Structure 1
């Protein structure tokens, strides 16, 4: 009986190890790869959205700066904080979206009309103040907005086109992290020229810096990322 069981086990083992002539045995030969099935079959994933339906971009929607980020960004770009007694960024923080963790537990980062209104007020305060101070500084290295202008500058209508564009590229990098270029740079250069002419008429040369600063600070590229 034991001999019969041993014989049956040997026959079963030999049958399991027998391969057909078409089957490969042993390791894969050098220079060859075992085929792997594609795990991503059609219909297994959502396609990317159409860029034309996303304002030319693909990915998450832009996010608005939080109040803390806005405070730091204004200081970095303009050179001063939005502090105006009881009407600065700290006083307007709740209206700008900061959570108080009493009634509101999450910060609101929607670019609503209230945020836009208070941001414009803040932009006027910091930009006009900074422009007035920089007009008095003869050392360009100590200035923020007008660092590319001559050490002593007066009538900005006399700047060359290259100087105007250098000023705009420098400040667009400060405010947005991306330089103006192409047709948009041409439009901003025209805007600068018009602002310089009006500033001379009003005899307030610092207005040129203030106007350009306000325009860049209230641009959506400054408050979103």
Structure 2
């Protein structure tokens, strides 16, 4: 009887020890982090805008060139500065947005009608003047806008489709840093063909080059980045 009671007590004590061991949490390791639930659930945040609805890009809005950047860009793309006596870029700088640090302390880089008007005036001046010089230059390596055209200009209506496309791709890279291609390139080919025909009728072959220069310089891709 005493032996049976002793065995029963030992079994009860063993069961209690095993239960205590199972319920005791394991030791915490140094550097171990407790799992954290993901706070973001579907619908908690707005998805990125569709690039197709944002002109092909997602991020900040395009910025307009400052006056100093515009000056340098025209010189690089066209080959000459917009300097026309008292009516050049320096004279129009304040109207184009340059700060005078007297009444205006920060440069305005917002696209507006005043900027567009003066930019068109500047484009006409530099493009017509540059085209007039280049039509007289037989050495293509010394020309800027028409470097891909034949040595001495002739009737530009005689250019092949490949020559016109090469000319347009070359200049789109100069002005925008991106080549014309696809359907847009085809539209520009048609535009150049019409300009060349009208220039020949008016007996001013340089007009075809000037028109293309003005169109590319006043394009939004030239004045924004």
Alignment of 1:3-14 (within 5 A): none
Distance 1:113 1:24, change over 3 A: same
SS at structure 2 position matched to 1:58: coil
> In structure 2, what is the Cα distance between the partners aligned to 1:25 and 1:98?
64
Alignment of 1:135-154 (within 5 A): 135-154=135-154
Distance 1:72 1:19, change over 3 A: farther
**1:51 Cα deviation from its structure 2 partner:** 3.5
SS at structure 2 position matched to 1:75: helix
Which runs of at least 4 in structure 1 moved beyond 6 Å after TM superposition?
24-27
> Larger Cα Rg: Structure 1 or Structure 2?
2
Residue 191 of structure 2 is matched in structure 1 by 191
> In structure 2, what is the Cα distance between the partners aligned to 1:46 and 1:59?
14
The CA deviation string for residues 83-139 of structure 1, in whole angstroms up to 9 with x for no partner, is 111000000000000111111111111111100000000000000110011111111
SS at structure 1 position matched to 2:132: helix
Residue 203 of structure 2 is matched in structure 1 by 203
Residue 94 of structure 1 is matched in structure 2 by 94
Pair 1:67 & 2:67 matched: yes
SS at structure 1 position matched to 2:105: coil
Alpha-carbon RMSD across the aligned residues, in angstroms, is 2.3
> In structure 2, what is the Cα distance between the partners aligned to 1:19 and 1:84?
92
**1:58 Cα deviation from its structure 2 partner:** 1.6
Instruction: Return 5+ residue gaps in structure 1 as ranges.
Output: 1-17, 28-33
Residue 30 of structure 1 is matched in structure 2 by none
Q: How many residues get paired?
A: 202
The CA deviation string for residues 195-221 of structure 1, in whole angstroms up to 9 with x for no partner, is 110111111111111000000000011
> In structure 1, what is the Cα distance between the partners aligned to 2:168 and 2:137?
20
Residue 170 of structure 2 is matched in structure 1 by 170
Pair 1:129 & 2:132 matched: no
> In structure 1, what is the Cα distance between the partners aligned to 2:93 and 2:28?
73
Give the TM-score normalised by structure 2: 0.82
Instruction: Return 5+ residue gaps in structure 2 as ranges.
Output: 1-20
> In structure 1, what is the Cα distance between the partners aligned to 2:53 and 2:159?
42
Residue 58 of structure 2 is matched in structure 1 by 58
Moved more, 47-56 or 89-98: 47-56
Distance 1:79 1:22, change over 3 A: same
Distance 1:83 1:169, change over 3 A: same
> In structure 1, what is the Cα distance between the partners aligned to 2:35 and 2:133?
71
